[in-house]
């Protein structure tokens, strides 16, 4: 049952233990200058090791041994010629459609399948790889990153364990994956420079890296700026970064035989032929404000116009104003009673009411509780969080709908919390159960002409041409030669 829940909260607590960070003074491996470091190398490695299981559990690993082997191989090769060759690097592809790549201190580098689908040659990938390795080798804001990872992965625990509810609910309403790891302008610039240096040393043409900024720029423009990938970051401007990387590349390529630098377009495209593109229905999907999970065979309504976010460990929903939050996750124990008791003990909530019931014939338990203000704070309805938690036993698992808001707003939201949980039911519609993901399909162009013509001859509907132009890193009017490869998507 891969795809929905695979992580206990154990890892999140492990992570919290790692924040005891000492400051020390040491030499920066990239600049060679002495500077204040928040972490020693062994602390960095420990942090990466501790964070990795949570990251993998939150997103899931993309199951494709060939692609995982490819990224590990290229990653390790490049790490060897970086400023910190002896770190225990790990390179992984996460099962997320979001276009993103990020690094965690200690040598952990992650690419999503979404970004792998958008690269059009190995040189673009290598440039981003060098950029991410650069964040690690130059020891960028290790501490700041860590706090942000915790803020994200510890979401549910954070909500219940602190009064910073508003902040978390707002994160949930914006889509938390996008907030992952933001760096300062200077750090992004330095990593761009290292991306050019490392990918050139590894034999790639880093001009292709520069061009990938255009792809990122187009993706964010298409989504109205709503899904700016971390790699792109809001500043400096992506098109400035493109120019900067181009001029750095020109310097690095001086005196080199540019035609001998690797791009590996065809081999890269053939490798990603069949890659899952966009949301994978088997991990659960929303259609007309209903969430369907074909593998676990259940469905329930999503409150209309709420924002939602699906991950392998939880599904969360929040209104745009961020004043409430419903999180679906798995409970502990074998019965609803056990799960409810474990919940009350773990989160130290004060139970106001609880009753046993059924939800569409399945054993269920509903608990209303409050989470008091933190120590030293006056308790009042503005800083007390009130929760309506539903535990439902279905096919050997306990599903927990945790609806929460400020006590002062509880009456306003309780009906939404209840209706969401009470309409949890078995999924039986074959059409919903057998939904297949779209995949990248690599096709050979039959006749020289515009990309638009080529897409039409591959039966791509016109409404998706602009999207596919971005995926191909081209304009629709660009000429594609007979026999060359392009990407289309189909089931």
Residues that bind Zn ion (CB under 5 A): 191
What's the closest the beta carbon of residue 205 comes to Zn ion, in angstroms?
Answer: 20
Nearer to Zn ion, 191 or 402 (CB): 191
Nearer to Zn ion, 121 or 191 (CB): 191
What's the closest the beta carbon of residue 230 comes to Zn ion, in angstroms?
Answer: 7
Tokens representing 123 are: 């040189």
Nearer to Zn ion, 231 or 391 (CB): 231
Tokens representing 246 are: 């181009």
Beta-strand relationship, 276-277 and 438-444: antiparallel
Collapse the DSSP code of 182 into the 3-class scheme (helix H, G, I; strand E, B; otherwise coil) and give the result.
coil
> What CA–CA distance (Å, rounded) separates 114 from 230?
13
What's the closest the beta carbon of residue 229 comes to Zn ion, in angstroms?
Answer: 10
- The residue nearest Zn ion at its CB is 191
How is 246-262 classified by DSSP, letter by letter? HHHHHHHTTTS-GGGSB
> What CA–CA distance (Å, rounded) separates 138 from 136?
6
Residue ranges with strand state E in 360-410 = 362-371, 385-394, 397-406
- Return the bridge partners of 317, or none: 308, 326
> What CA–CA distance (Å, rounded) separates 268 from 266?
5
Report the candidate in 282, 194, 211 with the shortest Cα–Cα distance to residue 246. 211
Nearer to Zn ion, 191 or 264 (CB): 191
Tokens representing 95 are: 């099962």
Alpha carbon 104 to its chain centroid, in Å, reads 13
For the chain, the helix, strand and coil percentages under 3-state DSSP, each to the nearest 5: 45, 25, 35
What's the closest the beta carbon of residue 215 comes to Zn ion, in angstroms?
Answer: 15
What's the closest the beta carbon of residue 12 comes to Zn ion, in angstroms?
Answer: 25
> What CA–CA distance (Å, rounded) separates 304 from 288?
9
For 414-428, b/e burial (b = at least 16 CB within 10 A) is: bebbeebbbebbebe
Tokens representing 355 are: 């009753």
What's the closest the beta carbon of residue 155 comes to Zn ion, in angstroms?
Answer: 23
What's the closest the beta carbon of residue 101 comes to Zn ion, in angstroms?
Answer: 8
> What CA–CA distance (Å, rounded) separates 387 from 411?
11
What's the closest the beta carbon of residue 115 comes to Zn ion, in angstroms?
Answer: 12
Nearer to Zn ion, 230 or 472 (CB): 230
Nearer to Zn ion, 191 or 200 (CB): 191
Nearer to Zn ion, 122 or 132 (CB): 132
Nearer to Zn ion, 100 or 191 (CB): 191
Nearer to Zn ion, 184 or 379 (CB): 184
Tokens representing 245 are: 């990387």
What's the closest the beta carbon of residue 134 comes to Zn ion, in angstroms?
Answer: 8
Report the candidate in 252, 250, 241 with the shortest Cα–Cα distance to residue 190. 241
Nearer to Zn ion, 152 or 191 (CB): 191
Tokens representing 173 are: 């309403």
Tokens representing 373 are: 């203000």
What's the closest the beta carbon of residue 195 comes to Zn ion, in angstroms?
Answer: 9
Contact 459, 468 (CB under 8 A): no
């Amino acid at each position: 049952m891969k795809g929905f829940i695979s992580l206990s909260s154990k890892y999140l607590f492990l992570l919290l233990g790692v924040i005891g960070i000492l400051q020390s003074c040491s030499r920066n491996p990239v600049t060679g200058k002495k500077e204040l470091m928040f972490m020693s190398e062994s602390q960095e490695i420990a942090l990466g090791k501790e964070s990795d299981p949570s990251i993998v559990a939150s997103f899931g690993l993309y199951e494709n041994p060939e692609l995982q082997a490819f990224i590990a191989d290229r990653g390790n090769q490049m790490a060897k010629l970086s400023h910190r060759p002896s770190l225990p690097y790990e390179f992984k592809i996460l099962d997320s459609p979001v276009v993103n790549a990020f690094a965690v201190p200690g040598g952990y580098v992650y690419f999503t399948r979404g970004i792998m689908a958008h690269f059009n040659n190995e040189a673009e990938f290598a440039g981003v790889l060098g950029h991410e390795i650069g964040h690690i080798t130059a020891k960028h804001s290790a501490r700041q990153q860590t706090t942000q990872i915790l803020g994200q992965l510890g979401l549910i625990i954070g909500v219940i364990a602190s009064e910073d509810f508003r902040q978390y609910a707002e994160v949930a309403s914006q889509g938390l994956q996008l907030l992952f790891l933001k760096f300062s302008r200077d750090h992004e610039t330095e990593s761009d420079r290292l991306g050019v240096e490392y990918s050139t040393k590894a034999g790639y043409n880093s001009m292709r890296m520069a061009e990938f900024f255009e792809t990122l720029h187009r993706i964010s423009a298409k989504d109205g700026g709503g899904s700016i990938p971390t790699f792109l970051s809001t500043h400096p401007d992506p098109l400035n970064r493109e120019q900067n990387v181009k001029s750095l590349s020109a310097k690095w390529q001086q005196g080199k035989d540019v035609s001998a630098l690797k791009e590996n377009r065809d081999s890269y495209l053939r490798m990603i032929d069949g890659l899952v593109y966009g949301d994978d229905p088997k991990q659960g999907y929303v259609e007309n404000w209903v969430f369907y999970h074909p593998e676990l065979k259940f469905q329930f309504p999503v409150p209309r116009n709420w924002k939602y976010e699906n991950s392998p460990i939880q599904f969360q929903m929040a209104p745009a104003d961020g004043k409430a939050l419903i999180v679906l996750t798995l409970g502990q124990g074998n019965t609803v009673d056990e799960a409810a008791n474990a919940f009350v003990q773990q989160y130290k909530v004060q139970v106001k009411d609880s009753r046993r019931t059924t939800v569409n014939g399945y054993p269920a338990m509903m608990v209303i509780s409050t989470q008091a203000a933190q120590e030293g704070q006056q308790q009042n309805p503005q800083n007390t969080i009130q929760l309506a938690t539903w535990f439902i036993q279905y096919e050997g698992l306990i599903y927990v709908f945790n609806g929460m808001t400020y006590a002062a707003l509880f009456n306003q939201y309780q009906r939404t919390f209840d209706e969401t949980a009470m309409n949890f039911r078995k999924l039986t519609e074959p059409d919903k159960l057998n939904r297949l993901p779209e995949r990248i399909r690599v096709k050979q162009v039959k006749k020289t002409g515009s990309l638009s013509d080529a897409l039409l001859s591959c039966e791509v509907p016109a409404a998706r041409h602009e999207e596919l132009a971005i995926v191909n890193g081209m304009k629709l009017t660009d000429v594609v030669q007979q026999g060359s490869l392009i990407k289309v998507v189909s089931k």
